[in-house]
Amino acid sequence: MKIATLTMNPAIDKSSAVTQVVAEWKLRCEPPEYEPGGGGINVSRAIQKLGGESAAFYAAGGLAGRMLSDLLDREGLQHRAMSIAGVTRENFTVLEKSTGRQYRFGMPGPTLNEAEWRQCLEKISGLLPQADYLVASGRLPPGVPANFYGRLAKLAREHNTRLIVDTSGEPLRLAVAEGVFLIKPNLREFAELMGRESVDGLEEERLARELVSANKCEVVVVSLGAAGVLVASAEGAERVRAPLVPIISKVGAGDSTVAGIVLALARGQSWREAVRFGVAAGAAAVMTPGTELCRREDVERLYEQLMKRGSS
Ligand SMILES: Nc1ncnc2c1ncn2[C@@H]1O[C@H](COP(=O)(O)OP(=O)(O)OP(=O)(O)O)[C@@H](O)[C@H]1O
Ligand SMILES: [Mg+2]
């Protein structure tokens, strides 16, 4: 197993549609659709769409937890639930057909107790010897200490597993303090990590290089939305502009970017190629409706374009 993903706070994303959302009325919705969700799980799904393999590990409990496992089975994904007493969360999205507005209801995850999150760490620790890359993605659920990804970083280092962390706030800061292989914050998350209100232009490059030279991250990929990414590593810093694509839904862009980068690296491709494959996957995710991730044929076409463009 080359790539493993970890989702501490997965979800079932339930979606439906109704003509009009009105308070007090009984709203007759269309038959709901169910999709597995959560950072690491989405990265695993995007890797699969790109023709690659990974194993998804996640904390899950209750009926919704079982349903999540069932949904992942149906997608043919390699996965393993780490069992918890709480019930896996369900998010709910309703499309109001008369206006095209989307109402998105997010739920907090179940609270994990200390024995549970310690057990998750132990299980992950047991699989690290077989994993070249571990992608820890998403927010931590209530009860899990902010230094959880930091603890994971220590374990990953002991096993020579390259840890990729995609999260925000204190959990990201503490993971970086411990030292990780790669982070992929967006500009807002990156500014927060660096203790700034905002960062711009040349400053983001200098700050990303600083993180690398302080040995806190081997690679920093700051995602800049439609502008693409800024990558900093020991080899220097580079900006890769995103291709111009029709914007249908931005959901899943970040997860697809991470999936593209880690899959290309696990396949032994160069940095230059991996970053472009990630940018292509992120742009391809923007072209697909709703929560749909990236489509392989879009990614491959955009990747060819980016490789032809030369540097920048
Ligand atoms: N409008 C766009 N056009 C082309 N590519 C885009 C666009 N928006 C995002 N991307 C691609 O997707 C990548 C990730 O997007 P973004 O920077 O918005 O990440 P994010 O904020 O982490 O997203 P998410 O909300 O999915 O976590 C970008 O670096 C870029 O390559
Ligand atoms: Mg993100």
Instruction: Give the mutation target among 188, 247, 286 for probing the ligand 1 site: most ligand atoms within 8 A of CB.
Output: 286
283 pocket-lining for ligand 1 (C-beta < 6 Å): yes
Active site amino acids: 255
239 pocket-lining for ligand 1 (C-beta < 6 Å): no
Each residue's pLDDT expressed in tens, for the chain with a length of 312 residues: 699 999 999 999 999 999 999 999 999 999 999 999 999 999 999 999 999 999 999 999 999 999 999 999 999 999 999 999 999 999 999 999 999 998 989 988 899 999 999 999 999 999 999 999 999 999 999 999 999 999 999 999 999 999 999 999 999 999 999 999 999 999 999 999 999 998 987 899 999 999 999 989 999 999 999 999 999 999 999 999 999 999 988 889 999 999 999 999 999 999 999 999 999 999 999 999 888 899 999 999 999 999 998 654
For 191, the domain range is: 3-7+39-81+112-311
Residue 311, pLDDT score: 53
| pLDDT tens digits, 36-90 | 999 999 999 999 999 999 999 999 999 999 999 999 999 999 999 999 999 999 9
Q: Around ion ligand 2, which residues have CB less than 5 A away?
A: 254
* Ligand closest in space to the Cα of 222: 1
CA of 92 to the centre of ligand 1 (A): 23
Q: Is residue 17 part of a domain?
A: no
Q: Is residue 96 part of a domain?
A: no
Q: Is residue 293 part of a domain?
A: yes
Q: Is residue 26 part of a domain?
A: no
Query: What is the pTM for the complete model shown?
Result: 0.95
Helices (H), the chain: 39-49, 62-74, 114-127, 148-158, 169-178, 187-193, 201-213, 253-266, 271-286, 296-308
Say which CATH number the domain at 162 has.
3.40.1190.20
CA of 301 to the centre of ligand 2 (A): 23
Q: Is residue 263 part of a domain?
A: yes
Q: Is residue 160 part of a domain?
A: yes
Q: Is residue 68 part of a domain?
A: yes
Q: Is residue 55 part of a domain?
A: yes
CA-closest candidate to residue 293, choices 259, 263, 269, 268: 259
> Per the structure, how many domains does the chain have?
1
Protein residue closest via CA to atom 24 of ligand 1 = 254
